[in-house]
Amino acid sequence: MAAGLAAASAVLYYYHTSLFETTPQQLLLALVVVVVLGSGATFFGAWWLAWSAVRPVAEITAQATEIEPGTLNHRIVAHADTEEYRDLVAVLNGMLERLDAAFQSQRRLTADVGHELRTPLTALRGQIEVALRGERTPRDYELVLRSALEGIETLTTMSEDLLMITRAESHLLTLDRAPTDPNAIVSDALEHLHTLIEEKGLEVEQSLDPRVHSVPLDPALVTRLVEHLLDNAVKFTPVGGRIGVQTEAVTPGMTGVRVAVENSGPGIAALDLPHVFEPFYRADQARSSGTGTGLGLTLVAAIARLHGGAVRVRNQNGTGVRFEVDLPAPASG
């Protein structure tokens, strides 16, 4: 481009110095030469600038195109240290990290589902095969059928929980908000667990905020959330232990509610705390020896997020575990 401009300048200078000696035809030719050289220099300069700008994008695109589901752990390195493209590369690599985490979570969930389904199915098949090996009394067949029914109910509950979690995480589950009394839900859930609470000799402490008598929530989903939290607390509280349940209006505006459930016991290992809301996660044998689908806390987290809230868990200084769920009301207007 600089050479073209220099040539054009030379032509102009030549004809300027001999202006009085040139004919109109020569002057016209000089102007044509200047226009052609200037246009060529401009075209070349524009092409070079465009190529310089597009080349890094093309290299980044080529690397991104090569990344497939099996290579999501790869990252884009082209021009990652170039200031103009650093943010673009960072955004793309961040997206790849999220996709990689999602795929790993999906693979882990698929493997866990296969394992969790295999156990009850194997037990169910074994019971039926034993019952068919010889003549049985009607009472024997009744026991086998009842046991099989329990196994089927467990599989049904697991399937329903998995479906709800998947729909909630995919935003395919629509909230049916209505004025809801979380305190009444807590009281009903404790009543349903009354027999088990008495059998274990548990002490129940309640602190229910009267200001949350009418919160716009999905009552059916909040009921499942509270039932899972309380069932989890009762299950893992040692005999003669204590359970605490609280409701509290969430500021500002007092339009939401915080539900807290705590129980006495050994607590959860620090390494396990970040994973307790993952599907089928087993913290330790002591806390996973009871019945259940392994999806209760995962469903609690999904319902909380669906309401725009969050769930937290922490140990109580060696005296137990505390779960807190924030369920905000939708912003008015």
8 Å CB contact between 264 and 234 = no
| Percent of the chain clearing pLDDT 90 (strictly above) | 30
Which two tokens mark 242? 């204590």
- Give the separation between CA 261 and CA 313, rounded to whole angstroms: 10
Higher pLDDT, 185 or 90: 185
Q: Find the mean pLDDT for residues 102-113.
A: 72
What is the pTM assigned to this prediction? 0.67
Q: Find the mean pLDDT for residues 148-160.
A: 86
* Nearest CA among 225, 215, 227, 226 for reference residue 181: 215
pLDDT at 76: 75
- Give the separation between CA 259 and CA 325, rounded to whole angstroms: 5
Between 219-236 and 182-192, two packed helices, what is the crossing angle to 10 degrees? 40
Least confident of 69-78, 146-155, 164-173, 183-192: 69-78
Pairing assessment for the beta strands 310-315 and 256-264 based on DSSP bridges: unpaired
Higher pLDDT, 63 or 51: 63
pLDDT at 15: 47
- Answer yes or no: is pLDDT of 182 > 60: yes
* Nearest CA among 250, 272, 271 for reference residue 259: 250
Q: Find the mean pLDDT for residues 263-287.
A: 78
Indicate if 178-327 has the same CATH topology as 86-169: no
Higher pLDDT, 105 or 197: 197
Kindly report the backbone phi and psi dihedral angles of residue 281, in degrees, each rounded to the nearest multiple of 5, phi listed first. Answer: -70, 135
8 Å CB contact between 205 and 186 = no
* Annotation: CATH topology of 86-169: Helix Hairpins (1.10.287)
pLDDT band of 250, cuts 50, 70, 90: confident
- The predicted-structure confidence for 288-318, as pLDDT tens digits, reads as follows 444 566 788 999 999 999 999 999 999 987 7
Name the residue ranges covered by the structural domains of the chain: 2-66, 86-169, 178-327
* Nearest CA among 171, 157, 324 for reference residue 248: 324
8 Å CB contact between 307 and 328 = yes
CATH class, 178-327 region: alpha beta
